[in-house]
Amino acid sequence: MQRRLMTAGVVAAAVMVLPGCGGSSSSNQTATFKTSFQSAVNQLRDTSQAIGTAIKQAPSQTDAQIATAFQQLATRWQNHLSQLETLKPPSNLAAVFNTLTAGATRAESDLNAIVAAARTHSSSAAEQASASLVSDILAAKSASTTITNKLRIK
């Protein structure tokens, strides 16, 4: 299993790239959304960086250590995702925001699947969950970047 997680390490850099946000907006709803969005996405970005670190450390850890680390990351991710899901985006961002939250929700499921794979010592399940995790975080990152660009956040 540890080798499978290491394979995902090749693309772990992609896991660490949810963008941060900043700036201001002319409409109150957009400004409020932008501020709250920045906080939520920055927290997800920080957690995705921790996921990348956990993937890199996996080869030197036991399955029990991997399960513990990824369980903590899944809990942390879910807390930040919940914060994101409370936001109401402006109508022109609703569709891409839904794409972002859907990708982040799938990433949470992937984290839990890695935990289950570690607990059952299933390298094939870990490999599949790791690949899905990277793909889903990249989908969330892409949507986040689209929102950032539409809000003209530097």
15-28 pLDDT per residue, tens: 444 544 444 434 68
* Residue range 53-107, pLDDT digits in tens: 999 999 899 999 999 999 999 999 999 999 999 999 999 999 999 999 999 999 9
User: What single-letter amino acid sits at 92?
Assistant: N
Q: Which amino acid makes up residue 26?
A: S
CA distance 98 to 90: 12
Flag whether 80 is in a domain: yes
State the DSSP code for 113: H
- Comparing CA positions, the residue from 78, 66, 65 lying closest to residue 106 is 78
For residue 73, what are the domain limits? 2-15+39-150
H/E element holding 95?
helix 94-119
In a domain, 20, yes or no: no
Residue 143 within a domain: yes
Is the pLDDT at 49 greater than 60, yes or no? yes
Whether residue 109 is contained in a domain is answered as: yes
Identify whether 34 is part of a domain.
Answer: no
| Residue 111, domain member (yes or no) | yes
Tokens of 135: 């793909």
Would you place residue 7 in the very low, low, confident or very high pLDDT band (cuts 50, 70, 90)? very low
- Please give the Cα distance from 5 to 9 (Å, whole number): 7
Token digits of residue 106: 């799938």
At a CB cut-off of 8 Å and minimum separation 6, what does 24 contact? 31, 34
Is 100 part of a structural domain of the chain?
yes
What number of other Cβ atoms are within 10 A of residue 66's Cβ?
24
pLDDT in tens, 114-142: 999 999 999 999 989 999 999 999 999 99
**C-alpha to C-alpha distance for 85 and 7, rounded to whole angstroms:** 31
129 in any annotated domain: yes
Instruction: Look at the chain and report how many structural domains it folds into.
Output: 1
Calpha distance 23→34 (Å, rounded): 8
Q: For residues 104 and 53, what is the distance between their CA atoms, to the nearest angstrom?
A: 18
